[in-house]
């Protein structure tokens, strides 16, 4: 992950989509705020997303794995060890809490509890951004390799967030243009018994093509387009209050 997430097409494209949703909402708040926005990246991995969240405010990463927090600190980031089921923070601390492909994992057996913790630590009026893998039909060797527990639908993710008292302001599928190729790949995985993760670099022409398709999708999403299907689903929700 550390080697791939700055340049590999999936990481670059998904990060662009996340910022396409977050930046328009946070831009006016950042401009008028008396202090930098406080951000928690819950389940930060090796810190690629956490690092880029620094464009929006002052981020801190959290992960269960020691090597992940070490990698984050190597990027000059604040990072602590901890789990998303019991966040080691007081109530109402953060302006934004993000969760990039975390609550779907086998290590998170209770996604309701994880989202409840996110809602607890975000300030009234603050935001929670969640991304998860989408659609059971895409289940394949990659899911087994990365210890997936579940793939979600868009309505399902919205319901989970609303159950914690959060108001969903935006939700969409993403990684949509490549959905047919991914569906074909995952179907072939099941038929052929292929094993292993998809994380890795493709030949340069494919990297360029896939990355730019994702960046084009991010541009559409920034303009308010919601994608009807995709390999991932994202949602932005606000905790009610001043």
Q: Where are the beta strands (DSSP E) in 38-91?
A: 38-42, 58-63, 78-81
User: Residue 29 has what pLDDT?
Assistant: 74
Fold of 9-238: Rossmann fold (3.40.50)
pLDDT at position 32: 67
| pLDDT band with cut points at 50, 70 and 90 for residue 97 | very high
What is the predicted pLDDT for the residue at 174? 98
- pLDDT surpasses 90 at 158: yes
Q: Which residues contact 68 (CB under 8 A, 6 or more apart)?
A: 44, 45, 46, 47, 61, 79
Q: Is the pLDDT of residue 2 over 90?
A: no
Distance CA 185, CA 232 (A): 15
The whole-number average pLDDT for the span 177-189 is 92
User: What are the pLDDT digits (tens) for 216-225?
Assistant: 999 999 999 9
Q: What percent of the chain has pLDDT over 70?
A: 99
Give yes or no for residue 30 having a pLDDT over 70: no
Per-residue pLDDT tens for 31-89?
Answer: 667 789 999 999 999 999 999 999 999 999 999 999 999 999 999 999 999 999 999 99
pLDDT at 149: 96
Determine the pLDDT at residue 27.
83
How much is the pLDDT for 122?
A: 98
Identify the CA nearest to 102 among candidates 53, 140, 157, 139: 157
* Percentage of the chain exceeding pLDDT 90: 84
| pTM, full prediction | 0.95
Closest by CA to 139, choosing from 174, 180, 191, 187, is: 187
């Amino acid at each position: 992950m550390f080697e791939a997430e700055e340049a590999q097409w999936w990481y670059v494209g998904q990060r662009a989509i996340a910022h396409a949703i977050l930046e328009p909402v946070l831009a006016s708040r950042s401009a008028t705020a008396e202090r930098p926005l406080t951000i928690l990246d819950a389940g930060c991995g090796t810190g690629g997303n956490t690092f880029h969240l620094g464009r929006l405010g002052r981020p801190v990463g959290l992960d269960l794995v020691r090597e992940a927090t070490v990698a984050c600190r190597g990027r000059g980031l604040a990072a602590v060890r901890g789990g998303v089921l019991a966040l080691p923070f007081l109530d109402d601390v953060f302006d934004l809490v993000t969760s990039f492909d975390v609550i779907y994992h086998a290590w998170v057996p209770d996604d309701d509890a994880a989202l409840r913790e996110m809602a607890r630590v975000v300030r009234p009026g603050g935001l929670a951004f969640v991304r998860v893998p989408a659609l059971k039909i895409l289940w394949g060797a990659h899911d087994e390799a990365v210890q997936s527990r579940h793939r979600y639908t868009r309505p399902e993710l919205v319901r989970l967030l609303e159950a914690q008292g959060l108001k969903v302001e935006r939700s969409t599928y993403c990684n949509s243009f490549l959905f047919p190729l991914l569906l074909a790949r995952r179907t072939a995985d099941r038929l052929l018994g292929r094993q292993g993760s998809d994380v890795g670099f493709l030949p340069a022409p494919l990297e360029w093509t896939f990355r730019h398709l994702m960046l084009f999708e991010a541009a559409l999403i920034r303009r308010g387009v919601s994608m009807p299907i995709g390999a991932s689903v994202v949602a932005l929700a606000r905790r009610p209050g001043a």
